[in-house]
Amino acid sequence: MPRLATAIHLGRGRRLAHDHAVTEQSVRPQPRRKVVSSPYIHRLQRRHFLLFDVLPIIGTVAAPALLAGHPFGVTELVLLLSMWLLTGLGVTVGYHRLFTHRTFKAAPAVVAVLAVLGSMAGQGGVISWVALHRRHHEYSDREGDPHSPNLSGGGLAGRFKGLLHSHFLWMRRHEYPNIVHYAPDLLKNRLLVRVARLYYWWVVLGLAIPALIGGLAEMSWLGAVSGLFWGGLVRIFVLEHIVWAINSFLHMFGTRPYESRENSRNGGLFALITLGESWHNNHHAFPDSPSFGLDWYRLDPGFWLIKALAAAGLAWDLKTPGRDRIEAKRITKPAA
């Protein structure tokens, strides 16, 4: 799964794409560029990397020191788990299954809530995230994939380098996918554009909520700081590394039950903690499926939420693939 880029990218990226098109047209007609690069965009990427990737690592390393002055109690546990679950569902159900792959349709209120929760994860504004992830599916494990672990050379050193690159180093500086090319459907959605423009504020809100609850629970500033660390920075750190592990480890290690042209793998052991994302080979084989588990017995909390929304009439048109289509792609046939 991808990440990065901010709401500001939206406006700036659009203008860059437009400026570029005008320049090109004045010379000779050419196809629209799929990626854009500029010192301004790379500066934003570096800033995002430091703020939302490096800072949570520092916060997580520092958090145990807090324990000397404030114990990890029930409030911290509840804040860490609930904020992780809510923002994690925002990413997998909202950013990934709904906005990127359009695997189902949803009511505007659901669209708004999922987009905001996904934004709070600090993994980039929704439109940029979608553009990056669509590019990942277009070029999976080939030149052009923003985060493949398999393009950094052979041998142990090459594989290790690839793992680090795909896990998070790629985010420091990368070609920015042209959102006009990759996400024209989202740019037409005024609600999503509005949520994307406020991206930084959603991340701040995702930090302020656990701080406020922590402070109120104990009526102390130390409680607020503790809430900020465990429900904010540590929660962002945990979810980020879970999502990044899909990009890195699950394009290298795991099982491959279905035919797909890249090296995606399933990691069934991690199904619960990844909210169903670890059925990554299933997902690449059937990207239009709202279910990543594909069968009821494979744990897929993201799909459970979609089913619950559908039962409540808030989601519809689930594009679950038929049994024939699934079996046609299976590499390892089940025993007769």
Least separation in angstroms between CB 40 and Zn ion: 28
Nearer to Zn ion, 98 or 211 (CB): 98
Nearby residues of 202 by Cβ (< 8 Å), 6 or more positions away: 116, 119, 120, 195
What x/- string results for residues 140 through 179 when contact with Zn ion is judged by CB under 5 A? ----------------------------------------
Of residues 45 and 264, the one with the C-beta less far from Zn ion: 264
Q: How far is the CB of 262 from Zn ion (least distance, A)?
A: 7
3-state secondary structure 65-89: HHCCCCCCCHHHHHHHHHHHHHHHH
Q: Which residues pair with 36 in a beta bridge?
A: 176
- Of 15 and 261, nearer to Zn ion (C-beta) is 261
DSSP secondary structure string, 222-284?
A: HHHHHHIIIIIIIHHHHHHHHHHHHHHGGGTSSB--B--SS---B-GGGTTTTTTTTBHHHHH
- In the complex, the smallest distance separating the C-beta of residue 172 from Zn ion, rounded to whole angstroms, is 20
Q: d(Cα 292, Cα 289) in Å, to the nearest integer?
A: 7
Q: In terms of CB distance, is 230 or 279 closer to Zn ion? A: 279
CB atoms within 10 A of CB 172: 16
- Taking the least distance from each CB to Zn ion, the nearer of 6 and 264 is 264
Number of H helices, E strands in the chain: 16, 4
CB of 212 to Zn ion, least distance (A): 34
* CA dist., res. 246 & res. 303, Å (int): 17
CA 81 from centre of chain: 18
Site string for Zn ion, 264-293 (x = CB under 5 A): x-----------------------------
Q: Which stretch binds Zn ion (CB under 5 A): 113-121, 141-149, 176-184, 261-269?
A: 261-269
> From the CB of 148, what's the least distance to Zn ion, in Å?
9
Q: What is the number of alpha carbons within 13 Å of residue 207 lying toward its C-beta?
A: 18
Query: Judged by CB under 5 A, which stretch of 171-179, 197-205, 237-245, 256-264 contacts Zn ion?
Result: 256-264
Piece in contact with Zn ion (CB under 5 A), picked from 13-21, 31-39, 190-198, 262-270: 262-270
Rounded to a whole number of angstroms, the minimum distance from the CB of residue 102 to Zn ion is 11
Shortest gap between Cβ of 295 and Zn ion (angstroms)? 19
Between residues 25 and 255, which has the closer beta carbon with respect to Zn ion?
Answer: 255
Interface segment toward Zn ion; rule CB under 5 A; list 33-41, 42-50, 260-268, 326-334:
260-268
Binding mask 9-48 for Zn ion (x = CB under 5 A): ----------------------------------------
| Shortest distance in whole angstroms from residue 55 CB to Zn ion | 26
Measured distance CA(327)–CA(336) in Å, rounded: 13
35: amino acid identity, one letter: V
- Measured from the CB atom, is 230 or 292 closer to Zn ion? 292
- The C-alpha atoms of residue 135 and residue 177 are separated, in whole angstroms, by 7
Smallest gap from residue 246 Cβ to Zn ion (A): 7
Contact partners, residue 335, CB within 8 Å, separation at least 6 = none
Rg (CA), the chain: 20
In the complex with Zn ion, which residue's Cβ is closer, 150 or 264?
Answer: 264
Q: Supply 242's token pair.
A: 């879970």
Which chain residues interact with Zn ion by CB under 5 A? 264
